[in-house]
Amino acid sequence: MRADLREEADTPQRCPVEDGTRPPDAPAVTIEGKLVRARPAGAGARLATAVARRLRRMGYRSLFYGLRLRGSFPLKLLASPDDPWPGDAARGTDIALGRWVWGGYGVKGAVPAFDDITAPEPYRAWLHSFRWLRDLAALHDNRRAIAIAEPAVRAWLDRYGAYDGFAWRSDLTGERLIHWATYAPMILSGHDLVYRSKVLNGLARQARHLARSTPRALDGMPRLNAVIGLIYSGLLLPGGEDRLALGKTLLDTALGELVLADGGFATRDPSDVHEALRLLIALRGVFRQRQAEAPACLQLAIDRMVPMLKGLLLPDGALASFNGARAGNPRDFALTLDLAECDAKAIENAAHTGYQRLARGKSVVMVDTGPPPAAHLSAKAHAGPLAFEMAVDGQRLVVNCGGCCEDDGVAREIAWMVRATAAHSTLTINDTNAAQIRADHRVGRGPEQVGWTRREAAGSLWLDAVHDGYARRFGVLHRRRLFLAADGQELRGEDNVLAAPRRLALPGWREHASRFDLRFHLHPDVEATPTRDGHAAILRLPGKRGWMFRVGAPALTIEDSLFLEAGGRQRKNRQLVVSGPIDALPLTVNWSLKATTQ
C-alpha cells in the first residue's frame, strides 16, 4: 500500500493470524499498487452535455434530418455473417407461442408490443434490439422462425421507419443492425420485393444515423454496441467504406477507454468482460468473412481480455460475483474462450481493474481491491470493497450474495439489496454502505482510494489491502490482510478498523464509528454447524471434506442470508457474522478457514 493510506496503518508486515506466524526470510516477490477513483465531471460540464444531447434529439426529429438520411437504395447485403453464440431455445419456444417474456415482464401477441410504453425500459430495449432473433434461431425450425420474424420486422418498420428517441437510440440501433444482418436469411427469405426493399432501405437509413450519432453515443457497453453496429453496416452494406473507416477509428478510441491495460472493463463488472469479448470475437469473424483488414486494436483487446476472463472464473467455470456479475453458465464461458483463439493463463494481479486472485492447491480466493468505477459507468457497481469469494475443491465456499442482469426479472428491492456492503463478505461500519448507491442507480460518495500489497514467498501468498470508504463519514479505514498457505488448505485473515488520516475525514459532520459487522456469506450448498465455544463453525460441502472457520473474539453467530443464482433464482443460504462495538482504535479481528481431516 502507498504511504497516503498507511499513515495510521504502519505496523510491521506479518502473517495476519493470531499465532504470530511470519513470512519466511527466503527471497520473496512483492507487488504493490493503488487505484484512485476517477473524478466525475463538474456540474457545469454535466449540464452542458445534457443540453447538447437534448438539442441533438430535437434535431433528429426534424424533417430536414429525415431528408439527410436519404441515399442510394442497397439492392442486397454483401454477406450475412454467422452468429457464433447459441440462443435460448426455451425463450424461442415462448416467442413461437406468442409469449414475449423477458426480465419478468411479458406480453402475448403475434408480434412484439413495440409501442408498450408502460413496459420496463430494459424490456423495451430487448424488443427493439431484436436480440430475440437469436433465440428464435435456436428452435432450428426455419419456417416457424420466419413466420414470426418477418411480421415483427414489418411491424417495426411501419411504426419506427422514421427517427424515434428510444427505438433509434445509438446502442439499440447498433444491436438491431447486427441482428438484422446476421439473421437476414430469417427476415428476408420471402418473395415480397416491396418488403425486401423496405428492410434494406431501413438498414441503410439506420446506418447513416448511426454514423452521425455514434461519436456521441452512451458509454460502457452501449457505446461498444453502437460502434460495432456501425462497423457491421460498413462491412455488410454496399457503399459502406466511409462508415467502416469511421467505425474503425471509433472502435480504437472506445477500446482504449473501456478495455483496461489488464483486460478488465471500465465498469469493473466481470460479466461486461465476457459480453464485450463475445462482441469482439463475432466482429473479428465478420472481418474474416469479408476478407477485410481488421484494426489492430481488435485482436489486441481480445488478447488482453482472455486472461482477464479466465482470472475472473472460479474453479466451477462460472464468474465470481462482484459488481453486478452473476455466476452464469460455465458452458457459455468455455465456448467464448474456445472461440477466442488465445492460449493465455488466468491473470492473478488485475492491478488496473482492481481484482486479486490468490490460487494455491485446490483453493482459489478472489478479492475486490478497487474503488467503484467512474459515476457514469457505475449503474451496476456494488458497495463491496475488499469483499472476497473462496472456492475449494471445485465448489464455492464463501461468496457474495450474487448479482443480477436485466433479464433476470429480480424485484427492485432485491436488486438493491445485493449491491449493499452487507451483502458481501467484507466488513461494515454502523450497518452503513461503504459506498453510496444513489436513486439513479449510480454509485456516489464512497472509496476514493484502495491500496494493496501482494507478496509471495515459499509458495504462500499474502495480500494486504485497505480502503477509505468510511473515512469521510466515520473517520476510519478498513484494512484486510489475507494469507493463503502453499497447499491451499488454509486461509487466514485479519480485519482492522483504523483511524483515518485527518485529511481524509470531515470532522465537521463525521459520525462516531460505534459498531462493526464482519460477514462471511456461504454458498447455499454449504452446511454450517456452530461449535460449543461459540467461536467456530464447521462448514461442509456435499461430498467434500469439511472446513473449520474460527475467530478469536468476539463470538460468532450464524444467520440467514440470500443468494442470487443465474436467472435471478433466489436461494436461502447462511452467513457467518462477527459483530461487536468499536470501543477503541485500532480494532483487530483475526479469523481462519482451515480444511479438516474429515
State in Å, rounded, how far the first CA of the chain is from the last one.
Answer: 38
Instruction: Give per-residue pLDDT as tens, 328-345.
Output: 899 999 999 999 999 999
Mean pLDDT confidence for 191-197: 92
Q: Which amino acid is at 436?
A: Q
pLDDT of residue 185: 94
pLDDT of residue 598: 67
pLDDT of residue 447: 94
pLDDT of residue 29: 78
Tell me the average pLDDT of the chain.
Answer: 89
Q: Where are the domains of the chain?
A: 3-10+27-41+349-595, 77-340
Grade residue 396 by pLDDT with cuts at 50, 70 and 90: very high
pLDDT of residue 2: 46
Phi, psi (degrees; rounded to nearest 5) at 504: -90, -15
- Confidence check: pLDDT of 54 > 50: yes
Grade residue 7 by pLDDT with cuts at 50, 70 and 90: very low
The helix (run of H) or strand (run of E) holding residue 454 is strand 449-457
Per mean pLDDT, which of 158-167, 402-411, 575-584 is the most reliable?
Answer: 575-584
The DSSP output letter for 195 is H
Question: Can you tell me the distance from the alpha carbon of 425 to that of 480, in angstroms, rounded to the nearest whole number?
Answer: 12
- Secondary structure of 458-474 in HEC code, one letter for each residue: CCEEEEEEEECCCHHHH
C-alpha cell at 339: 472461440
Range of weakest confidence among 35-39, 295-299, 397-401, 532-536: 35-39
Range of weakest confidence among 37-46, 102-111, 293-302: 37-46
Range of weakest confidence among 169-178, 289-298, 483-492, 560-569: 560-569
Those residues whose C-beta lies under 8 Å from the C-beta of residue 590, and which sit 6 or more positions away, are 16, 17, 18, 492, 493, 494, 551, 552
- Confidence check: pLDDT of 8 > 50: no
Instruction: Give per-residue pLDDT as tens, 196-233.
Output: 999 999 999 999 999 988 776 678 999 999 999 999 99
Residue 8 or 242, more confident: 242
pLDDT of residue 46: 57
Q: What's the helix, strand, coil split of the chain in %, to 5?
A: 35, 25, 40
pLDDT of residue 30: 80
Question: Could you give the C-alpha distances from 254 to 39, 206, 233, 247, 377, in angstroms and in order?
Answer: 19, 21, 18, 10, 14
Q: How many residues does the chain have?
A: 598
Q: Are 113 and 101 in contact (CB under 8 A)?
A: no
Superfamily of domain 77-340: Chondroitin AC/alginate lyase (1.50.10.100)
> pLDDT > 70: what percent of the chain?
88
Question: Can you tell me the distance from the alpha carbon of 54 to that of 107, in angstroms, rounded to the nearest whole number?
Answer: 31
C-alpha cell at 208: 447513416
Question: Can you tell me the distance from the alpha carbon of 183 to that of 448, in angstroms, rounded to the nearest whole number?
Answer: 45
pLDDT of residue 18: 40
Grade residue 552 by pLDDT with cuts at 50, 70 and 90: confident
Closest CA to 15 of 386, 462, 364: 462
Residue 433 or 37, more confident: 433
Mean pLDDT confidence for 494-506: 84
- Confidence check: pLDDT of 351 > 80: yes
For the packed helices 241-258 and 296-312, what is the interaxial angle rounded to 10 degrees? Answer: 40
The CATH architecture annotation of domain 3-10+27-41+349-595 reads Distorted Sandwich (2.70)
pLDDT of residue 44: 60
Instruction: Give per-residue pLDDT as tens, 446-485.
Output: 899 999 999 999 999 999 999 999 999 999 999 999 999 9
Those residues whose C-beta lies under 8 Å from the C-beta of residue 272, and which sit 6 or more positions away, are 220, 221, 265
pLDDT of residue 569: 83
pLDDT of residue 329: 92
Q: Which amino acid is at 368?
A: D
